[in-house]
Structure 1
Amino acid sequence: MKNNILIGFVFLLLVSCSKTKEPIVSFYYWKTIFKLSETEKEVLRENNVTKLYIRYFDIGLHPESKEPIPISPIHFQENMDGFEVVPVVFIKNKVMLQTNLDIEDLAQKTFSLVEEINAKNKIASQEIQIDCDWTLESKGNYLKFIERFKKLSHKKLSATIRLHQVKYFKKTKIPNVDSGVLMYYNMGSIAPDAENSIYSSKIAEKYLKSLKKYPLHLDFALPIYSWGVHIRDEKVIGLRSKLNVSELKKDKNFEQIDAIFFKVKKSNYKNGIFYEENDKLKIEAISAEDLKEMAQELDGNLAQRPNEIIFYDLDEFNIKTYEKNIFKQVVSYF
């Protein structure tokens, strides 16, 4: 009798522990040169980060031949010992839209370049991630590419998933991968109005209930970046990275006209971009409260608990705007 009680207690304890186990904190790294600043290293240490999703290269189309080509492969300037590295390959959708796409050739060349970068930098990756915002028109080529790439690599394969692909998965289909990463950002249209295109709880609400029906296991990617929407004559003419409110407040060429809008007082160059007098910049950013709200929304609509929360992206400019323990706070909601 006592043994049965003891066994029952141990079982309940194990179940309880499994339910309270939090996802791990991971990061995307999206630069062409891998070199960590002291601030970035500190964040990795404080959050016990051992897994990094590193963009290895993009795949686009040659401007003349329209053949798929690798763009800006990464260069490592640091030893990757102590980290589990997941190579990420971003494939532009226009590649998958090619009617005469040689899928076999693309899969082989993509895998070969990943392996070449790994060998050069003594990295033994167990997983590869494919990042592509495929559409109904490109899904045929994309799904075939995933099938072929998986057979070639003999590794765990993950894919990025967008909200619309979750809600309409019967139409967009589900790639034959081991797991997906839901990109919980870039939800709205980039416009000169006051709406934040990176995150909107109103837009998210339209998709959240679909998560419970999605058959593929999902981890979640949350945004920690900001940018400026460059507006001229009430039209968007571009996105400007590495900009936030505190950065623009320091610049005498810009005048803050409300919480997120700045006006160009005098024509000038900033970070290599020309701004005409009277141009506007709308700052879109993600606050700590936004991140917590995202976590709560996702946790309330889970089919399965995520294994990790991946923050996009690891960059000193991004992380210095948050308190040090924000990442642990966010994962604690799951």
Structure 2
Amino acid sequence: MMWKYGMLFLLLFASCQYERTIQPAFYYWKTQYQRREREQATLNKLDTKQLFVRIMDVDLDETGLKAIPVSPIVFKNKLPDSIDVVPVVYIVNNVLKQQSEQALTMLANRILSFTEAKVKQGGKNKFTELQIDCDWTQTTRETYFSLLKKIKALTSHKTIILSATLRLHQIKNRHSSGIPPVDKVLLMCYNMGNLRKYGTQNSILDEKEMAIYLKDFLPHYPLPVDIALPLFSWSVVFRDQQYVGISKHLDSQSLTDTNLFYRQGNTSLYHLKKELPKAGLRVNDVIRREEVNIETLFVASDFLSRYLPRKDLKVVFYHLDAALLNRFSDEQLQEIIDRF
């Protein structure tokens, strides 16, 4: 009898160990912020408290020497009172290749002052987290980390959490990629395959790729890790089996038009029968339709839940857009959250 009670205690203790508090959030990745009823309804239904708002890109000017803000967000409406904003600044990797320490100091100050001004335009007086998004490389790592340290120094007295985005390879190869000098990281669980490679693979989300890069490495990452999951789909164009780009003109419905396309078996590849000059497409171009469905997101959530050591984390959906939300019910999104 004592043995049974002991086993029951161990089971209860183990279950308590893995209980998590999940905070759902969304990215807002557009150049204009405008409140829309469908989007606000989902925020309310999921009890979302944070919106990760892209403030601007940072890229080089025409001279290739000066870092400047590109396509900064314009607020058509104020952010909801119930939502805390997490400003996100995307830094193009090329910006980091030729920057002196003095230039980095100036850049850090400009990023912070520009971000603070934009947040106020959005109707918020403050923010408690600032996120920097950059796909840094080994050649730009030291410069990028130096910039992060300078931003951290500027925000430390304001008790602002500094976070950075991570790609899958930066988890697996952390010894060569380095650990960014931030408070926490957000792992982008999408765009994980080879987009430019011809074939039937899905480059947005692939469980096999996640296993390769995360299974043996995610539990041991030395910083707190939040998770971003994709809601988007896209159409990738190939010409003579060479990558051309992503078409904004073709959705899943348009590819079902048998007058324009024929499908290669039961695959994700569609061959164009006629010229589509407005879309910049030619006869025999091949379009690979890549989609993320709810079953794929369930699988990804279950996988990540097994290897995440944290008790409390954010699950951030990319991104808040009515057209994307129409593909998923609020109940399905809630189930993704619950699976963590």
Question: Residue 152 in 1 paired to residue 154 in 2?
Answer: yes
Give a deviation string over 1:48-105, Cα, whole Å, max 9, x none.
1121000000001112243111100001112212210000000011111225461101
Structure-1-length-normalised TM-score: 0.89
Structure 1 position 122, deviation (Å): 2.7
Q: CA deviation at 1:36?
A: 3.1
Instruction: Indicate the residue corresponding to 2:78 in structure 1.
Output: 79
Q: Which residue of 1 aligns with 2:54?
A: 55
Letter in 2 for 1:95: V
Aligned CA distance change for structure 1 residues 251 and 315 (closer, same or farther; 3 Å):
farther
1:210 is aligned to 2:217: yes
1:322 CA displacement: 1.8
Alignment partner of 1:277 is 2:276 = no
Partner residue in 2 for 1:5: none
**1:263 maps onto 2:263 in alignment:** no
Q: Counterpart of 1:228 in 2: which secondary structure?
A: strand
Indicate whether 1:88 and 2:81 are aligned: no
- Superposed CA deviations along residues 100-156 of structure 1, whole A, max 9, x for unmatched, are 461101101111110111223331211110001111111111111011001112311
Structure 1's consecutive aligned runs of 4 or more residues displaced over 4 angstroms after TM superposition are 13-19
Using the TM superposition, give the Cα deviation of residue 324 of structure 1 relative to its aligned residue in structure 2, in angstroms.
2.8
Match of 1:316 among 298, 322, 330: 322
Q: 1:307 aligns with which of 313, 318, 321?
A: 313
List per-residue Cα deviations over 1:147-171 (Å, max 9, x = no partner). 1001112311111011111112222
- Measure, in 2, the Cα distance between the counterparts of 1:76 and 1:18: 42
Q: Per the alignment, in what secondary structure is the counterpart of residue 142 of structure 2?
A: helix
Q: CA deviation at 1:295?
A: 0.7
For residues 95 and 202 of structure 2, the distance between their equivalents in structure 1, rounded to whole angstroms, comes to 29
Relative to the length of structure 2, the TM-score reads: 0.88
Q: Deviations over 1:4-24 (max 9, x none)?
A: xxxxx9xxx999778534412
Give matches, 1:239-250, under 5 Å: 239-241=246-248, 243-249=250-256
Letter in 2 for 1:286: V
CA shift, 1:219, in A, is 0.6
Q: Which range moved further: 297-306 or 191-200?
A: 297-306
Cα drift, residue 218 of structure 1? 0.4
Percent identity of paired positions between Structure 1 and Structure 2: 33
Distance 1:325 1:55, change over 3 A: same
Who is 2:43 aligned against? 44
Give the counterpart letter for 1:88 in structure 2.
V
CA distance in 2, matches of 1:254, 1:42: 37
Return 18-27 or 57-66, whichever deviates more. Answer: 18-27
Distance 1:276 1:47, change over 3 A: same
- Which position in structure 1 is the counterpart of 2:104? 103
Provide the aligned C-alpha RMSD in A. Answer: 2.3
User: Shift of the alpha carbon at 1:306?
Assistant: 4.3
Amino acid at match of 1:277: V
* 1:229 Cα deviation from its structure 2 partner: 0.7
Equivalent pairs, count: 322
Cα distance in 1 for partners of 2:109, 2:13 equals 44
Unaligned 5+ runs, structure 1: 1-8
- 1:139 is matched with 141
